[in-house]
Amino acid sequence: MGSLKVGILNGGGDCAGLNAVTRGVVRKSEQFGYEVVGIRHGWAGLLDIDTIPLSWKDVSHIISQGGTILHTTRTNPFSHKDGPATVLNNVKKIGLDVVVAVGGEDTLSVAAKLSPMGLKVVGVPKTIDNDIVATDVTFGFDSAVNVTVEAIDRIQTTGESHDRVMVVEVMGRHAGWIAAHAGLASGANLILVPEKPIDLNEVADFLKRRHASGATASIVVVGEGCELTGHLSESASKLDEFGHPRLGGIGEVLARELERRVGIETRAVVLGHVVRGGPPSAYDRMLATRLAVAAMNCVRNGEFGVMVCVHGNVISKVPLLDILGKMKNLDTETLSLIKDFCV
Ligand code: F6P
């Protein structure tokens, strides 16, 4: 292909490594002789035409920066009147030959649906939640886990000094990847994940036994997507454009209930956005860069309607339609590690 105009957008929650992808796309585009346009605020930037030109100067040194210089939103063109047609028209107006859509399941599902409608699109998976199917791992996850582990290490020492149970709430809407990896890597005593319903009596009995046998402090890691019977997420009424409620608050409820049932002072810490922000780990910088290069190779080869991904540390690609409506939950190995090491 000759010279192309490439648009890049980020949708959904931000994560460490987004800027590394933008940098990779701009660098490869310049090598290929393509022009790059940054689409701001996710799909909203194609509903309203909100773009910025990007050249190597704009991406210099952003590999180490958290967040995204393009900004992001949870905009779903399919929930706007004439949204898909507006996006397709605006892509023409801007003169984009292809859009590189960097996002999680929601953003990529929009890409998957716009592709058969005529949008030339390549998807790049990202999320701290690590819950996208058809890829072994997403960038953002490793950075989030590292920050969570460091935080739990700190929470552990203060918990021990005060003989407390410390409940640590972490992000992860549908899947417990952050809770599981950070909990296992920090030696947490109990890890509660959305994949397994919480039985309060079981959790309380576990803590009673642990403390009766000599433990003076405990760490309980809980994924924000866990449900407690009888507890409704406080902001469940606030849905985003993809129909997801704003989560958060399970840690506080759990701490209250456990203190009442176990009789040991219990405190809750919500790590939430703290672990989503900040600089990417070296692993995430590399993964994001590799995926950016793979995406640009797809663009050059005219392969659209695909998502670049990683399988067994080999970069590859799958049809975007393969990920529609699916979720990567914790695997049996991780679930069994949780069982073996939570004592
Ligand atoms: O991007 C996924 C995620 O990190 C979820 O784990 C969490 O529920 C959600 O984002 C929170 O997003 P927001 O910052 O938009 O409330």
- DSSP letter at 274 equals G
pLDDT of residue 286 exceeding 80: yes
11-35: average pLDDT:
98
Tens digits of per-residue pLDDT, 195-213? 998 999 999 999 999 999 9
Question: CB count, 10 Å around CB of 1?
Answer: 12
**CA 304 – ligand 1 centroid, Å:** 28
> Rounded distance, CA 294 to CA 320, Å?
15
In 3D space, the residue among 172, 130, 126, 133 whose CA is nearest the CA of residue 18 turns out to be: 126
* Of 173, 177, 242, 329, best ligand 1 pocket probe by most atoms within 8 Å of the beta carbon: 173
- Indicate the pTM of the whole model: 0.96
Tens digits of per-residue pLDDT, 90-101? 999 999 999 999
Residues 323, 112: contact at Cβ < 8 Å? yes
* Of 276, 327, 328, 329, best ligand 1 pocket probe by most atoms within 8 Å of the beta carbon: 276
**CA 261 – ligand 1 centroid, Å:** 31
- Ligand 1 contacts (CB < 6 A) are 12-13, 104, 127-129, 171-173, 224, 246-247, 276
Residues 103, 43: contact at Cβ < 8 Å? no
Tens digits of per-residue pLDDT, 168-198? 999 998 999 999 999 999 999 999 999 998 9
Residue of minimum CA distance from atom 1 in ligand 1: 13
87-123 burial code (b ≥16 CB/10 A, e <16): bbebbeebebbbbbbbbbbbbbbbbbbbbeeebbbbb
Spacing of C-alpha 179 from chain mean position:
13
**CA 13 – ligand 1 centroid, Å:** 5
Tens digits of per-residue pLDDT, 45-87? 999 999 999 999 999 999 999 999 999 999 999 999 999 999 9
The mean pLDDT value of the chain amounts to 95
Instruction: Cite the active site residues.
Output: 129
